[in-house]
Amino acid sequence: MFDIDLPSDTLVEVAPAGLGVPVSLSWCEPAHSVIVELQHTVSEEDRQGWARRSAALWLRLRRPVLVLVLAPDAGVYDWAAQPVVTSLPGYVLHPLVVGPEQVLPISDPAHAAECLELAVLSVLSHGDDEAVVGTFLEALAKTEESHGARYYEYAYRLASTDVRRVLEETMASATWPVYSPFAREHFSRGRAAGLSEGKARAVLAVLRARGVNITDDALTAITACADQAQLDEWAHRAATALTIEELFV
């Protein structure tokens, strides 16, 4: 990426107390470090945080540090690409910023399936386009089920609110290009029937297929629910929930 040769090595997560580094990577002994920031909004406090985290990582590892900012919004990209001037004399951070212009929308499911990481970036940057989301889901259909589910969860958690909405609407429709047979069967059945029982079965089926432990209280709450909107919301959450508690947040 960007003509930078990054050899494979062990991932090291660095999170100095109070600085909250989202993702920081160091390679080789280490030879170089990268802090990856995902930025959806304009915030000067966040920009100053990049500089502080970069300095903290440099102090810890004593190696060059690159701050890589993923800015899916074009307006945020223009703002993020500006040098970060700090209150420390002489310390100006120059982040490397990736915006929607640097990430091409992927419209070929086969291409997306070959590199799901790029497909995720495509969704983050161009997910307001239903065709891009459809391509992503079709690509996931070509992968092993649990593998595809993890990539969907990753994209959903990182996406903006608008992109999440497109993902949810596509998944909830009867025509979405699903990435797993269990989701197609149970989501479609529940939607076609239009019954609470069908939607409750869909929620439970997704949770079980993803290995989420369903407590007796949760089972009772789901099967007894007659609120269609609530069941739809649970169905969406079930696609990303790691625990049963996350379903009822």
Chain segment 76-88, per-residue pLDDT in tens:
999 999 999 999 9
Helices H, strands E: what count in the chain? 12, 6
Q: How far apart are CA 29 and CA 208, in angstroms?
A: 42
Structure tokens at 127: 């997910």
Task: Check whether 25 has a pLDDT greater than 60.
Answer: no
Q: How far apart are CA 160 and CA 157, in angstroms?
A: 8
User: What is the model's pLDDT at position 61?
Assistant: 83
The arithmetic mean of pLDDT across residues 154-170, rounded, is 82
Last residue of a domain, one of 73, 98, 123: 98
In a domain, 218, yes or no: yes
Percent of the chain having pLDDT more than 90? 30
In a domain, 135, yes or no: yes
Last residue of a domain, one of 132, 153, 174: 174
For 61-91, give the DSSP string. Answer: H-S-EEEEEE--SHHHHHHHTS-EE-SSTT-
Instruction: Name residue, tokens 């919301």.
Output: 233
Q: How confident is the model at residue 219 (pLDDT cuts 50, 70, 90)?
A: very high
Selection from 111-125, 127-141, 196-210 with the highest mean pLDDT: 111-125
User: What is the model's pLDDT at position 180?
Assistant: 47
Percent of the chain having pLDDT more than 70? 77
Q: How many domains does the chain have?
A: 3
Q: How far apart are CA 231 and CA 108, in angstroms?
A: 33
User: What is the model's pLDDT at position 60?
Assistant: 86
Query: What global pTM score does this model have?
Result: 0.58
Q: How confident is the model at residue 22 (pLDDT cuts 50, 70, 90)?
A: very low
Residues 46 and 79 in one domain: yes
Last residue of a domain, one of 147, 174, 201: 174
In a domain, 8, yes or no: no
Domain residues for the domain of 162 are 105-174
Q: How far apart are CA 89 and CA 93, in angstroms?
A: 12
User: What is the model's pLDDT at position 186?
Assistant: 47
